[in-house]
Chains A and B, each alone.
Chain A
Amino acid sequence: MSSKFTDHLGRPLVAVTGMGVVTSLGRGLKDNWERLTAGVSGIHGISRFPTELLSTRIAGTVDFIPSDPNPVARSYAFAEATIEEALEMAGLSGDFDAPLFLAAPPVEPEWSMRFNLGDRAPPPKEDNDVYVRFLAAMREQADPAFHEAVMFGSISERIADRFGTRGLPVTLSTACASGATAIQLGVEAIRQGRTDKAMTVATDGSVTAEALVRFSLLSALSTQNDPPEKASKPFSKDRDGFVIAEGAATLILESLEAAHARGAKVYGIIRGCGEKADHFHRTRSSPDGGPAIATIRAALEDAGLGIDSLDYINAHGTSTPENDKMEYSALKAVFGDELMPSIPLSSNKSMIGHALTAAGAVEAVFSLQTMLTGVLPPTINYINPDPTIDLDVVPNTARNASVSSVLSSSFGFGGQNACLVMTREPS
C-alpha cells in the first residue's frame, strides 16, 4: 500500500525542505556544523548578568543576535534568524500560508522590568503588597512593552505577522522535549491532510539570573565552572549536571509529494514520532526507564523500522548523573546488550549545552545534517568514561560514517518524553 510518497501505513511521507539553526556556536547551519564537527564548545562564562553568589556561572547563552533584553524579545530574535534561513533554504518567499507550531519557553517578566515598575509605584504600605503597588503604577500609566514581554503568545504572534503563517499558531511547551513535540505536531498536521506544509520552530532565549537559580535549586546544573567548555560531559563518570543554554531551530516540513511537485530539494524525512508520559515524579524519570523505553519503541514503530535498521542515535545526553544513566538503560532495553554497543551515539549538548525548549529541534537539524554529510559529531569532554555506561559515544573527535537513519531523543521534567526517527529520502 505504500507508494513513492507514502509510508508503510499509507500515510504521506513528511519531508524536510528547509532548516535553520542558532546555538551558542553561531548563527546558521554552516557555521554551527563546522564547529560542532570540530568539537568546539560554545559554553562560556556568563556576561549577561553578574554571577556573584551563584554556584553556576557558565552557560551557552547566545549573545550575538541583537534584541531587547528580555526572554520574549530574545527568543523571537533567535527564532526569526532560523526561520529566515530555513525559508531561504526551502526556496520559499512571501506569506508562508500554512500552520505554525512553535516551541517557546514559559516566560516571566525580567527583573529589570519589575524594578522599573517598583520605582514608579507608591511606597510600601503593608506586608507583601508589591503587586498591589505594581497595579497602582500600571493604572497610572499603561506599559504595552511589559504586556508583550510577559504574554506566552507574543512570540508566535510576531512570527505569524512577519511570515504570514495561516490560522491560529500553536505555542507549546513540553519542557526539554518541546522542540521534538513541535516537529511532531507538524508531522501530524500533514498526515491529517490538513495542510501540505508546516513551519515548526523551537526557540529559547530565557537564560536569566532567576532561571539559573531555579535550576540550581533543583541541583540540575553543573557547577564545574572552570574551564566552562569542559563542564558538559555526557556519559562521563564525573558529570555533575547540564549546562543551561540558548538557541533556536526551524524545520520547514512538507509532504514529500508536495515537495516534489514544486521541485524542492529534500534534506530528509521525518519518518516517525513517539511519545509517552511518565507518572513517577515531577523531575525524575521512572527508575526502570519504562516511559523512555515506550517512547523509543513508539517512534520506531511509527517509522516502521526495526531495531536493527538504525545507524546513529542523537542522544538527549544532558550530562546529569540521572538522565545519562536512565537513557543508557532505556536504550539497552530497546536495542539489547548485543546491538547497543555497535550503534554510534553522540550528545550535541557536550558542545552546545542544553537549550531546553529549543534542544529537540536543534538536535533534529543536526541529526539531518549528520545524514547529509556523513559525519557523526563527537561527544566531547569524554575523558573519564562512566564504566557503567557501555556506549560508543563517538568520543572527542568526529567520525565519518554513512548514515541513513537517526533516532533523536528528548526527555524532560514533568514526565515528558518524545523521540523522532529521521531517514534519508527513499530512493
Chain B
Amino acid sequence: MTKSDNDVVVTGIGLVTSFGVGQAPHVAMLTGSATPAVNVDSEICAPYPVHPLPEIDWKDQIPKRGDQRQMENWQRLGVYAAGLALDDAGVKGNEDICSTMDMIVAAGGGERDIAVDTMIINEGLERSDREILLNEKLTTELRPTLFLAQLANLVAGNISIVQKVTGSSRTFMGEEAAGISAVATAYARILAGQSTHTLVGGAFVAERRDILLMLEAVHALSRGARAPLWDRAAEDDGGMVMGSAGAFLVLESRAYAETRGAHIYATISGVEGDRGKRDEGRLEKRLGRLFADAGFEGGEGDVVFSGATGLTALTKREADFVKQAFPDTPLRGYTGITGHAMEANFPSVLRLARWRSTTRHRSLSSMTVKDR
C-alpha cells in the first residue's frame, strides 16, 4: 500500500473489557496459546449471563472525585477508556493537541434510578391516578444530576471536561450502528482533510437490567449457561450475551502523526457499514459488497474479526458467508469471549484486531454490518 499524508492511522488505543484494563490483558488473551479464560457472570443479572466490568480504579483516568460523582459507571467507563487512548497516544494533557482534537462518541442511554422506578411502579399497583403519582414522585425523588448521568451526549461532555478534548464533540446514537458510523465518519473526515486528529469510541455497561430489558423485549438474550458464539441453541434463547466494554481510538492523518513523532500502530484502509432487508440472500450479497468496498481480500496473514451479535440464525449465516467467501482466512468471533458491547462493539473489534495483527502486518481493513 502506498503511503499518503491523509492516510488514516491509529496512534492511541484505550480498551476495557471483562478481560481487564488496557493492552496487557488483551494482548495476552489474543496471543496466548491457551484458550482464553472467559470472564462471565451468571449471577448478577440471572438468568442472563453477562461479561462484567473488570476491576477499575477510576481515579487513574478521572482524578477528581467531584467528576466521578457526576457520572454513573457507563459515562465513567467512556471517560476512562478515552483517557487510556489519549495516554497511549502520548497526548493526554497536551493542550494544543487536545483543544483541537475532534471527537465522535457512540452512546446509548444512561442508568435509570432503579430505586425510584421501583417505588413508582409498586405504588402504582395500588393507585388508579398513576399520572398524578408520577408527577408526585418525579418532582420529589429524582436527583437533578441523574438527568445528566443519563444523557447520551454527556459521555462526550464529560470527556471534554475531564480529558479536555474540545476541538469538536459529536455523539452518535443507534445501538451497534452508532459505533460503526462513528468510526466511519472519523475515518472519512480525516481522509478528506476535514480533521487532522480525532478521538472516537464508545462505552457500554452490560450488567444493567434496565438495558437488558430493551433486548429481552424481543427475546434476543441468551439465558442460562453461556455457550460458544457459533453454537448457541435456538430454542427459547435469543443468543446474545452482553459484555461491558469501553473502547476508544486516537485516529490521525499520517502527516499529523508523523509531524508530532507519534507511534503509528496501524493504518485503516476502509470502513463500511450498511443495513437493510436480509431475505433472499440480501444479507450475503451486502456482506460481499462491504468486504469488497473496504478493500478486504482475505490474503495471507489476514484475519476476520467478527462482532456477530450471537443472535442464533444470523450469526450462523454470517459465519457461513465468511467461510465460503474467504475459505483460507481464520474467523474469530470476539463477541464470543468479550460479549456483545452494543455501541462499543465495533470500536472494540478495531482495537482487538490491531493487537492481533502485531505479529502480522500493519494494514487493517475493517468492515462490519449492522447485524440485528
Instruction: List A residues at the B interface (Cβ < 8 Å).
Output: 49-55, 104, 106-108, 111, 114-115, 118-119, 123-124, 127-132, 134-135, 138-139, 142-144, 146-147, 150-153, 156-157, 160, 167-175, 181, 185, 188-189, 191-194, 209-210, 213-218, 275-283, 291, 412-416
**Interface-side segment among B130-138, B307-315, B351-359:** B130-138
Residues of A within 8 A of B178 (CB): 152-153, 171
Q: Which 6 A-B pairs have the closest CB atoms?
A: A414-B157, A153-B174, A131-B209, A277-B169, A168-B273, A152-B173
Residues on A with C-beta less than 8 A from B121 are 114-115, 118, 130
Q: How far is the CA of A146 from the CA of B216 in the complex (A)?
A: 10
Closest to A219 in B: B144
Count class of interface residues, chain B: 35 or more
Complexed CA–CA distance, A152 and B151 (Å): 12
Judged by a CB distance under 8 angstroms, whether B253 is at the interface is: no
Q: Are A132 and B209 in contact, with the CB atoms below 8 A? A: yes
Known: A53-B135, A217-B147. A172 touches B173 (CB 8 A): yes
Q: Is the CB of B168 within 8 A of A135?
A: no
A278 engages B134 (CB within 8 Å): no
Q: Establish whether residues B114 and A128, one from each chain, have CB atoms under 8 Å apart when the complex forms.
A: yes
Q: Is the CB of A213 within 8 A of B142?
A: yes
Whether B154 is near chain A, meaning CB under 8 Å from some CB there, is yes
- Say yes or no for B185: interface residue by CB 8 A criterion: yes
User: How far, in whole Å, are A149 and B157 apart by their CA atoms in the complex?
Assistant: 26
Asked if B109 contacts A277 (CB within 8 A), the reply is no
Interface pick from B11-19, B29-37, B187-195, B243-251: B187-195
Say whether A131 contacts B170, CB under 8 Å: no
Residues of B within 8 A of A279 (CB): 160-161, 164, 166
Are A171 and B132 interface neighbours, CB within 8 A?
Answer: no
Query: B154 touching A414 by the CB < 8 A rule?
Result: yes
Q: Give every chain A residue within 8 A of B210 (Cβ-Cβ).
A: 131
- Chain B nearest Cβ from A272, distance in angstroms: 13
- Indicate if the CB atoms of A191 and B194 lie closer than 8 Å: yes
Contact of B135 among A52, A128, A135 (CB under 8 A): A52
Tell me, in angstroms, the Cα distance from A308 to B36 when the chains sit together. 64
**CB-defined A-B contacts under 8 Å, sample of 7:** A54-B139, A134-B209, A151-B214, A152-B173, A160-B276, A167-B273, A414-B154
Tell yes or no: B124 within 8 A of A by CB. yes
Q: Which residues of A contact B138 (CB under 8 A)?
A: 209-210, 213
A-chain residues with CB within 8 Å of residue B275 when the two chains form the complex: 157, 160, 167-169
Q: Can you name the residue of chain B whose Cβ is closest to the Cβ of A189? A: B188
Bound complex: CA A163 to CA B144 (Å): 39
Say yes or no for B222: interface residue by CB 8 A criterion. no
Q: In the complex, A127→B249 CA distance in Å? A: 40
| In the bound complex, CA of A124 to CA of B35 (Å) | 42
CA gap between A213 and B158 in the complex, in Å: 23
Produce 1/0 per residue, B145-156, CB < 8 A to A. Answer: 011101111101
Chain B minimum-CB-distance residue to A49: B131
- Given A115-B130, A130-B114, A278-B160: A218 touches B147 (CB 8 Å cut-off): yes
Task: Contact check, A53 vs B216: say whether CB atoms are below 8 A apart.
Answer: no
Q: Which of A104, A130, A280, A416 contacts B117 (CB 8 A)?
A: A130
Contacting residues, chain B, for A413 (C-beta < 8 A): 148, 151, 153-154, 157
Residues of B contacting A115 with CB < 8 Å?
Answer: 121, 124, 130
Q: Is B118 on the interface with A (CB-CB < 8 A)?
A: yes
- Please provide the chain B residues from 271 to 292 with a CB less than 8 Å away from any CB of chain A in the complex: 273-276
Cross-chain contact B177 with A209 (CB below 8 angstroms): no
Let me know if B152 and A106 touch, CB within 8 A: yes
Given contacts A168-B273, A194-B188, A413-B153, contact A277 B167 (CB under 8 A): yes
User: Which residues of A have CB within 8 Å of B48?
Assistant: 135
Q: Known contacts A138-B216, A276-B168; is A217 also within 8 Å of B124 by CB?
A: no
Pick from A50, A106, A167: contact of B132, CB below 8 A: A50
Report which of B114, B151, B194 forms a contact with A192, defined as CB distance below 8 A: B194
Tell me whether A150 and B114 are in contact (CB under 8 A): no
CB distance from B333 to the nearest CB of A (A): 21
State whether the Cβ of B212 lies closer than 8 Å to any Cβ in chain A. yes
Tell me the bound Cα distance from A170 to B273 in angstroms: 11
Decide: B177 and A153 in contact? CB cutoff 8 A: yes
Smallest CB separation, B97 vs chain A (Å): 14
Residues of B within 8 A of A276 (CB): 166-168
Contact indicator A130/B118 (Cβ below 8 Å): yes
Known: A129-B118, A147-B218. A415 touches B166 (CB 8 A): yes
Q: Does B316 contact A (CB under 8 A)?
A: no
Is A185 touching B185 in the complex (CB atoms < 8 A)?
yes
CB of A143 within 8 A of CB of B156, answer no
B270 CB-CB contact with A under 8 Å: no
> Chain A residue with minimal CB distance to B156?
A414
User: Do A414 and B169 touch across chains, with their CB atoms under 8 A apart?
Assistant: yes
B118 touches A278 (CB 8 A): no
